Amino acid sequence: MLTKARAFVREDARVTFRLGNETAIQMEQPVDVVITPFVLDLFTEERLADVIIPRLYQALKPGGLWLVSDFVQTRNWWQQWLLNAMYRFFRLTAGIEARQWPDWPRLLQQAGLRPGEQQTMVGGQVTTGWWING
């Protein structure tokens, strides 16, 4: 995906791509945008609250954007069943640590981010949107 993104922006000096997890972030070089597509639901709520979200938030410049697309809890029984099955499958095959949906929107707000435009898809099962630092 990074190769495609780099090809899209070509040699634009305003764009620098960084690949890594929360431990690879260099705090002395804050970023304008954090992108976490289908990442936040992989971790326990405790790890998100104590490690991942604070670390990424600290790296985000004031006024910076955090772009998120991820699964959210719904009240629809078949969607709950489907997501539970997905969690079991990915715990077995990929070793993800989450066993249930973390309330990542609440955790982003608690970290100090304000929600911007949000859109739900797949009958409310997926939320995508942006959050702003400040």
Condensed to tens digits (0 to 9), the pLDDT of residues 76-96 reads 898 889 888 988 898 899 988
The domains found in the chain, sorted by start residue, are: 29-133 (3.40.50.150)
Is 116 in contact with 63 (CB distance < 8 Å)?
Answer: no
Instruction: Please compute the mean of the pLDDT values over residues 87-114 and round it to a whole number.
Output: 91
Ranges of H-type helices in 71-124: 77-94, 104-111
Condensed to tens digits (0 to 9), the pLDDT of residues 21-41 reads 777 777 777 889 999 999 999
**What is this structure's pTM?**
0.82
Selection from 108, 103, 98 nearest residue 34 by Cα: 108
Q: Which amino acid is at 29?
A: Q
Instruction: Please compute the mean of the pLDDT values over residues 38-50 and round it to a whole number.
Output: 93
Please give the pLDDT value at position 13. 65
